[in-house]
Structure 1
């Protein structure tokens, strides 16, 4: 149901600026530390007759209510900048824990909380929604959509969820199994639920919905598992689907849905629709410009990743790894920009999109900014998608630069690993993953949670398409860790993460803060001159947004990947962040997970000036108890198991069977001692209710046994290493 007409929006837009301009790309002197808080922060939120009484008028005028955080990025521009300044450089050291709320889960926590009129709406893993009193953390209600635990097999990165959207008394959540659910904001009771996907296909939803004029927008994930990506809009009142925009073309022997799909099909070869649909899922980023009436979203990787298999003979493969602009009213295509034509490394463009009005070469430009996985920072004209500039924000070795005339990256010979393996920087987790950036109009800087490490790719000896499982099309053994421990130890310093402050006008680094490890949290900036970020080694930190100097930190007892928010109630400012280690890096790169990242203690932590609450102590040690059975398999069987493990098991249980301990480390499993018990779990689904699905359709008993033989070999390796380290101590 629409609540304001297009004419009414235009009237509002004449009064309310969408974004704040920054001057000449230079970071101005930040005097907010000594200045009083802006007067607007003293204005009370408008009274509403019901909870979550958010509508188009309030969202368009979000800056007039800085005490609320009403949408995913606070405003449609997704800048994650708050005008609140009661907490600032002068007093941030007085920040203390006001309250905490335990989620009661041990999976990754990635949500941005929504706060409207004193109530916080947030999510934990498995798409569970919580409504809390934002003053005290008192639980008001909880909604559990009861996701079948074995659905986790279709998720690359665990059953994570990035939050909800609110509109006219309802809370909307995209559920991991593909449902879109509307809840009564007062009670948490379900108003309606629709299946946004075919439940027989391996789609998932981990992203947060967005709402534009009564239309709930949601995408999905699961590209390499075998799906065709799309974004769709649903009526907020009824759940009726209003439109759908596919991101890759279907079978060209059948009618195309629109002219955009006809255009895209010309950039594909082979029979991609038979390998899971082509991929291109819209699993995270969206932004909206009300003045232009354009919805922008990022598109993911291909299925399989490897273009040689997906589209033999080449092709750009639109709209993979692209930013696409459509009309939110009907999904009509307007323009696109492809960041990685013919992507073949899992270089998605689903990373955070920020809109701003920026002065470039003496004139104000309406820009869209993104730092996708491929390592380049893009500044586009958001009116037409034309390239303004692109420079690499980390050192990369797959391309030398982006050609300013064509907008295409100039690739390095051999980077596509067609004839021989190639070690590429950045890895398939990217130079920047889903963790949100932020932009400060005060400094003119974009703050990026950067990843910096390589990955090796190679052509597989034989590609076997397995519906419902990750089909990368890259050789899993080539992409594995070396067997020699000294070589693995030498890789550890290469697994880096940092906070990067980037000037989008000059396309240069302003400053950096090196973190102890990778996979650090998203960003929040405020008018108080502060930049907040959680870290992988268990801290929530406030930095000086102009210099990067550390101002304050709080020990979170777990790694932090979610971004913070800030809000105000009764003249008191709060800063809040959801904590709990998880996601792709935590699952796959167990060898390099810092002990400080664990245990997973999933909570909401909320701070205010003068508060002094403490968290209870945590007693936990990340130790695998090795007790492997005799190693009886021959080398050929172990190698077969190695390849199968890397293709099928690695996404949950870690590279080379080294777990990040969010799920059981198989090297310490008692099931290694009995082939029958192992097979009952792997092929018969004995532990399906705990998330371990049956693989009987895809693995023979002999293949299951080969995987067990490989894990036994890695258990012996781990046991010998553990004993060696014990002797050294």
Structure 2
């Protein structure tokens, strides 16, 4: 069994040296717009990077080989650009005709000369600060799409914006979501034949998922594909939604107090132009706990709940359903299938197959026939405890103890809600026949919450008692727990379904990947390092001290024949804002210094000295509240605060550490922030009416207690060092 190389649609197999100059033949060309022909031939246009995954196949492989195994040690920083947003940076830049375009946190857009770093223009969509509370996983943005002379941006508050590529001026904008609900957009659009396709996020807050297409010319909505049925839908609903309704408790989904069911399409898409199929990855249910979302007669979870946690193939011209494969039937653990989708042609058992590959959160690596949706193979790429394998129909063989929506009992499940692989893009090398996965191992305790009720306004609608974190205050024990969380770069053989090599990291949440014709794999990591590895064996060949954690994927391109490698650096995202800032990668705090870093052979630029990481003192008032009040505060903190300020009030390095807040000692100041929302422009909105003033005060009491526990630990450590 061996992998087959991708070929150009013209039937020619070109060498990397020829491909490096093919932008003159296949690319948009100076002053020309991005066309369907250019997108179809993007694989031949190695000078540019004109769509999110470089090509419609989303392989994130560039044939460029001027930077290679032999000379990568000479790679140096040639220019950098500081960002004006100290939040998570997750974007893939686009490069078109020597100009680099990128998005940053808060959905801002910037344009640079790709060779010199000269800023050309910037655009700020002025996303309201209070939108941040609708985003489960930081105010991030993953990138742009290009068509004609325009760029297309999805904003955090749910707008699709068309921007003139030359000037940065807005051509048109369209609100694509119900802004009264907790929809957000963090993913990059795709464009297929003049149709701009974008989904949205918000499943944790109770929305109903869909993906839609809009005219690149004027923003007119052309079609909308919903991923879950609607309560009360009739016989006029599309057949695929009528089929889905058979797998849900429609009485609950249609109840007056029901929430939207989830299934948001917030990231991954890929397109096969020969089959004319668009593949979308569908997210988790809302709430996570199926016992509340879709209960059976006995009150426990029931039904597969299509099309949650599924890969769905649709027609990009009409939004017509073609086929689906559900990776996690009856999803209840936040096991999304929104992770990176890669298309490739390979030979399996002597037969040529058109395949789709994905390593979703649930821990299985899937190889699927992309014509039919048939499972070819699937094996765990990390240790898992929720399932024992896949049956002959591709359905998980579940561990009954992990099915917490059935047992009603807590269970420690591997992987947890961060998954075995999250949004960070993989890469595929046709030269090596390997998929490179930014994987990690992180189990989580799922504790079903009794008498749970949805909160449309602010609540994190999961149906589990995420708690405020039940880790003991003892720092040594906390270190041991965090020490079990592992990060790794895996080179996965999709035919043999096994790892060929693995690089271990101190912690999880490491960056997306780029593979190149020079035999290299590039990746940033949570240890504030950007590195190049040998694609064949994983040997580290080069590294650069980035001063900040890197989660975004790199790209490569050429200007005047010279190869560049670029990556957007800046620590952030779901794990960064929910983990202990002191223990986040088992090495110590990871800061956010948001910058675009650009490298070439012989580059000799240098970053400014790394600033000292200064923390506010841990000096809380005495803890005097009753145990009942603290317990109430702990429960409310877990539902309303932990998603941004970390479980256990341990504090991240990206958002304010509440243990160190000056408002802890001032009940009125605390209430003014949490209840009155005086800092809404910074993203800290009012939590009334979800929380009463008494509950707000109980949260303050809980955080005071936690701060005192950790202050005592600090004191013990100081004594021990004397």
Q: Normalised by the size of structure 2, how large is the TM-score?
A: 0.95
Distance 2:9 2:623 in 1: 74
Q: Give the number of equivalent residue pairs.
A: 701
Q: 1:151 to 1:559 in 2, by over 3 A?
A: same
Distance 1:219 1:622 in 2: 39
Distance 2:399 2:620 in 1: 45
Within the candidate set 512, 523, 527, 1:522 is matched to 512
Distance 2:589 2:156 in 1: 24
Unaligned runs of 5+ in 2: 1-6, 297-301
Distance 2:221 2:608 in 1: 46
* Residue in 2 that maps onto 1:696: 688
What SS class does the counterpart of residue 471 from structure 1 fall into? coil
* Residue in 2 that maps onto 1:413: 400
Deviations 1:73-110, CA, capped at 9 Å, x for gaps:
00000000001001000100000001001112210000
Structure 1 residues 648-659: aligned runs within 5 Å: 648-659=640-651
| Cα RMSD for the two superposed structures | 1.7
Shift of 1:42: 3.1
2:496 counterpart of 1:506 = yes
Structure 1 residues 100-179: aligned runs within 5 Å: 100-179=80-159
Greater Cα offset, 450-459 or 44-53: 44-53
Within the candidate set 233, 240, 253, 1:272 is matched to 253
Shift of 1:150: 1.2
What SS class does the counterpart of residue 135 from structure 1 fall into? coil
Shift of 1:136: 0.9
Distance 2:596 2:584 in 1: 22
Within the candidate set 475, 479, 492, 1:485 is matched to 475
Shift of 1:554: 0.5
Distance 1:278 1:272 in 2: 7
Deviations 1:366-404, CA, capped at 9 Å, x for gaps:
00000000000000000010000000000000100011x
2:326 counterpart of 1:345 = no
Distance 2:194 2:125 in 1: 23
2:445 counterpart of 1:456 = yes
Within the candidate set 454, 457, 466, 2:455 is matched to 466
Distance 2:31 2:330 in 1: 46
Asked if the contact 2:514/2:522 (under 8 Å) is kept, the reply is yes
Shift of 1:39: 2.2
Shift of 1:661: 2.1
Distance 1:285 1:175 in 2: 17
2:278 counterpart of 1:295 = yes
2:230 counterpart of 1:235 = no
Distance 2:506 2:393 in 1: 38
Shift of 1:37: 5.2
Shift of 1:621: 1.7
Q: 1:180 to 1:540 in 2, by over 3 A?
A: same
Shift of 1:43: 3.9
Asked if the contact 2:103/2:144 (under 8 Å) is kept, the reply is yes
* Residue in 2 that maps onto 1:3: none
* Residue in 2 that maps onto 1:714: 706
Shift of 1:216: 0.2
Shift of 1:483: 3.9
Distance 1:604 1:667 in 2: 32
* Residue in 2 that maps onto 1:91: 71
Asked if the contact 2:82/2:596 (under 8 Å) is kept, the reply is yes
* Residue in 2 that maps onto 1:283: 266
Structure 1 residues 492-641: aligned runs within 5 Å: 492-591=482-581, 592-594=583-585, 598-621=590-613, 623-641=615-633
* Residue in 2 that maps onto 1:435: 424
Asked if the contact 1:540/1:555 (under 8 Å) is kept, the reply is yes
* Residue in 1 that maps onto 2:436: 447
Shift of 1:52: 6.8
Within the candidate set 305, 327, 351, 1:317 is matched to 305
What SS class does the counterpart of residue 343 from structure 1 fall into? coil
Asked if the contact 1:438/1:523 (under 8 Å) is kept, the reply is yes
* Residue in 2 that maps onto 1:32: none
Distance 2:31 2:236 in 1: 43
Distance 1:523 1:563 in 2: 5
Q: 1:694 to 1:529 in 2, by over 3 A?
A: same
Shift of 1:255: 5.2
Q: Normalised by the size of structure 1, how large is the TM-score?
A: 0.94
Asked if the contact 1:538/1:596 (under 8 Å) is kept, the reply is no
Shift of 1:486: 3.4
Shift of 1:51: 5.0
Distance 1:95 1:135 in 2: 15
Distance 1:321 1:352 in 2: 13
Shift of 1:48: 5.8
* Residue in 2 that maps onto 1:24: none
2:28 counterpart of 1:45 = no
* Residue in 1 that maps onto 2:291: 308
Structure 1 residues 390-429: aligned runs within 5 Å: 390-403=378-391, 405-417=392-404, 418-429=407-418
* Residue in 2 that maps onto 1:668: 660
What SS class does the counterpart of residue 288 from structure 1 fall into? strand
Shift of 1:50: 6.5
Distance 1:199 1:492 in 2: 38
Asked if the contact 2:145/2:191 (under 8 Å) is kept, the reply is yes
Shift of 1:625: 1.2
List structure 1 runs of 4+ shifted beyond 4 angstroms: 46-52, 253-256
Shift of 1:570: 0.7
Asked if the contact 2:199/2:264 (under 8 Å) is kept, the reply is yes
Unaligned runs of 5+ in 1: 1-11, 21-35
What SS class does the counterpart of residue 216 from structure 1 fall into? strand
Q: 1:331 to 1:95 in 2, by over 3 A?
A: same
Q: 1:377 to 1:678 in 2, by over 3 A?
A: same
Shift of 1:598: 2.9
Shift of 1:282: 0.1
Shift of 1:406: 1.8
Asked if the contact 1:51/1:186 (under 8 Å) is kept, the reply is no
* Residue in 2 that maps onto 1:259: 239
Distance 2:295 2:562 in 1: 59
Shift of 1:484: 4.0
Shift of 1:407: 1.1
Asked if the contact 2:8/2:44 (under 8 Å) is kept, the reply is no
Deviations 1:402-461, CA, capped at 9 Å, x for gaps:
11x221100112102223210001010000000000000000000000010110001113
Distance 2:32 2:638 in 1: 45
Asked if the contact 2:61/2:514 (under 8 Å) is kept, the reply is yes
* Residue in 2 that maps onto 1:189: 169
Distance 1:217 1:610 in 2: 40
* Residue in 1 that maps onto 2:53: 73
Shift of 1:167: 0.7
